Amino acid sequence: MPFLPIDREEMLQLNIKQPDFVLVSGDAYCDHPSFGIAIIGRILERHGYSVCILSQPDITNQKSFLEFGKPRLAWLVSSGNIDSMVNHYTVTKRRRKVDNYTPGSVMGKRPDRAVIKYSEVIRKIDSDNHIILGGVESSLRRFAHYDYWSDSVRKSILLESKADLLIYGMAELAIIEVADALNSGMDIKYLTYIKGTTISTIDKNFIPDNAIFLPSYNEVKTDRVAYAKSFMKQYTNQDHIVGKPLVEMYDNIYLLQNPPIRPLTRFEMDEIYELPFERAPHPKLEKLGHIKAMDEIKFSITANRGCFGGCSFCALTSHQGRIIQSRSKDSIVKEAKQIIQDKDFKGYIHDVGGPTANFYHVACEKQVTKGVCQFKSCLGQNPCKQLNVSHEDYLDVLRTLRKLDGIKKVFVRSGIRYDYVMYDRNDDFFKELVEHHVSGQLKVAPEHVSPNVLKMMGKPNRNLYDKFVKKYYEINKEKGKNQFLVPYLMSSHPGSTLNDAIILAEYVRDMNYNPEQVQDFYPTPMTLATTMYYTGLDPKTMKPVYVAKTKHEKAMQRALIQYRNPKNYDLVHQALTKANRLDLIGYEKNCLIKPKKYKSYKQKSIKH
């Protein structure tokens, strides 16, 4: 049977009487290496453990959780590839209408706060067994955290779910160490030492001597200064070499985060992505309805992990880390050849990359032996002098893929860090990117243009982006191409005032660009920007930061970027009036909107 079992019938066909692990997931099971559940299931299988996947169980039906009986070693609980609250709600807290990780995109198959809800059911039906949390939702809630949806500081998800252990970050190495320990008969309460895990205990003897004590939960839930200070200690201890154990107190309970587990070697990365994935949704689930999340990634290839970009609004460094891990060219080519054999493949590789496509090696060699810098960014506003800028190896991968029989085009869609491209003195990558790897339009993320906001975002200055734009179109002309550039823009990021939003609106005007979509800043757990949003402080400097919090102001900032949309006229007019920028209301070329017409004039026009 090619897929991991999703029901009792399939389990028995594999002669599994009692599974070692039951993996509970908020996603429909897709056996593809872009899905964390598939990777964990396959790697456990490779190490000799039997795994069954309980895909999107019904929390109102406890019996559905016992499809495979009780696991021998543990329940492994995840919300899936995406945080359940982000999956369910827009930034305005409106309920979304579709869930692309569910057959037929039906909303409602996974509960809000899925990890907690799944764990609650498991505790009722199998109270003595082990519950181990993993995935993005658990990883980014491992400490006390500001929860945007309830507008409160919630406890660690490990305590809220009453689970036994939490594996944070990319869990391949840690899950095998945990599995082997449990299989040897070790009591889970003694698994307090494994890197990449978070545990809770009332026994102070389990706390390492070099542990850093964070402000307690009682402090951070009432004191925003304490919250900001706590976050910075977390932020600067997320490296496997320099990071220290962190302890957060909950009355008499010690929450201990062990330092992150080491990054994967290239050999280990290759081994994981060469596991026998079917690269498809489980047929029984696909019959219930198409799983749309597979569309973009089915013919995509993951080449790397991690990011040293340093964007304030991104939690990636707290989950995958700042040290880049990449696969060998041979491994990537091997996967491409498998894709070519797929009956549905039309000759187009949709993407070759990762969180940032053009990061293919560590930022600097120092990181390999000494870890990442705790208080310095590799990129951010200014690149580190030690930054190793080269696209040579990544370009070699792309060139090799282009030459394979059966491949018509290889696209790069997972995000190009444009500043890193500009820092490369060799233009070969930029030229070949434009000539061979852009699908009509290249999406990049300047996010903003105001110096104040870019500083808070940890993004480079506007001048560098302008140079990139100019060079992009010059290369297009040189290569006989007519391809566009689509910038991602963000409104209401901490630090952005109405005046900053107007600066961005004027830039959009001068570019003659009409953005169809704008991302309003979304406060999600464990990001620097979310800490700014909640505390009103920059945790790096402890200086105050302006934060747009009311729905109306956020709507005005978003409307300014899309000022050409007639539906936004009133909001744009209010924003310009409030900011005392009436010079932008009129008939001149530089104006964003025209003056309001009198009601009486409108009525006469209607009658006429």
Specify if 57 maps to a domain. Answer: yes
Q: In whole angstroms, give the CA distance from residue 83 to residue 186.
A: 31
Question: Both 30 and 156 in a single domain?
Answer: yes
What is the number of alpha carbons within 13 Å of residue 511 lying toward its C-beta?
A: 21
User: What is the model's pLDDT at position 605?
Assistant: 43
Question: Both 165 and 65 in a single domain?
Answer: yes
Q: In whole angstroms, give the CA distance from residue 179 to residue 50.
A: 11
Residues counted in the chain:
608
Q: For the domain that residue 95 is a member of, what is the CATH number?
A: 3.40.50.280
Could you tell me if 400 and 333 are in contact, meaning their C-beta atoms sit under 8 angstroms apart?
Answer: yes
Question: Both 413 and 522 in a single domain?
Answer: no
Specify if 1 maps to a domain. Answer: no
Question: Both 415 and 496 in a single domain?
Answer: no
Alpha helix stretches (DSSP H) within 187-244: 217-220, 224-235
Residue 240 CA, chain-centre distance (Å), reads 20
| CA distances (Å), origin 170, targets 111, 134, 262, 298, 504 | 24, 9, 10, 21, 36
Specify if 256 maps to a domain. Answer: no
Dihedral of CA 199/203/209/215: which sign? positive
Strands across the sheet with 441-447, in order?
A: 441-447, 484-491, 519-520
User: What is the model's pLDDT at position 10?
Assistant: 97
User: What is the model's pLDDT at position 599?
Assistant: 46
Count of beta carbons in the 10 Å neighbourhood of residue 566: 8
What's the helix, strand, coil split of the chain in %, to 5? Answer: 40, 15, 50
Question: Both 153 and 16 in a single domain?
Answer: yes
Specify if 254 maps to a domain. Answer: no
Could you tell me if 364 and 388 are in contact, meaning their C-beta atoms sit under 8 angstroms apart?
Answer: yes
Retrieve residue 316's tokens. 């990636």
Q: In whole angstroms, give the CA distance from residue 205 to residue 431.
A: 59
User: What is the model's pLDDT at position 155?
Assistant: 98
pTM, full prediction: 0.94
Q: In whole angstroms, give the CA distance from residue 207 to residue 221.
A: 23
Nearest in space to 517 (alpha carbons), one of 492, 552, 493, 489: 489
Specify if 19 maps to a domain. Answer: yes
Specify if 475 maps to a domain. Answer: no
User: What is the model's pLDDT at position 600?
Assistant: 42
Specify if 425 maps to a domain. Answer: yes
Alpha helix stretches (DSSP H) within 126-258: 136-139, 157-161, 172-183, 217-220, 224-235
Could you tell me if 142 and 196 are in contact, meaning their C-beta atoms sit under 8 angstroms apart?
Answer: no
Nearest in space to 464 (alpha carbons), one of 476, 477, 448: 448
Q: For the domain that residue 383 is a member of, what is the CATH number?
A: 3.30.750.210
Residues of the chain with pLDDT under 70: 1, 598-608
DSSP character for 194?
-
Question: Both 383 and 495 in a single domain?
Answer: no
Question: Both 427 and 498 in a single domain?
Answer: no
Residue where a domain terminates, one of 177, 199, 221: 199
Q: How many structural domains does the chain have? A: 3
Question: Both 429 and 490 in a single domain?
Answer: no
Specify if 477 maps to a domain. Answer: no
User: What is the model's pLDDT at position 517?
Assistant: 82
Question: Both 407 and 508 in a single domain?
Answer: no
At which residue do the structure tokens 């006989």 appear?
480
Residue where a domain terminates, one of 174, 199, 224: 199
Range(s) of the domain holding residue 83 = 8-199
Could you tell me if 486 and 441 are in contact, meaning their C-beta atoms sit under 8 angstroms apart?
Answer: yes
Strand partners, 538: 543
Question: Both 512 and 429 in a single domain?
Answer: no
Residue where a domain terminates, one of 144, 171, 199: 199
Q: In whole angstroms, give the CA distance from residue 337 to residue 344.
A: 14
Question: Both 49 and 192 in a single domain?
Answer: yes
Question: Both 23 and 108 in a single domain?
Answer: yes
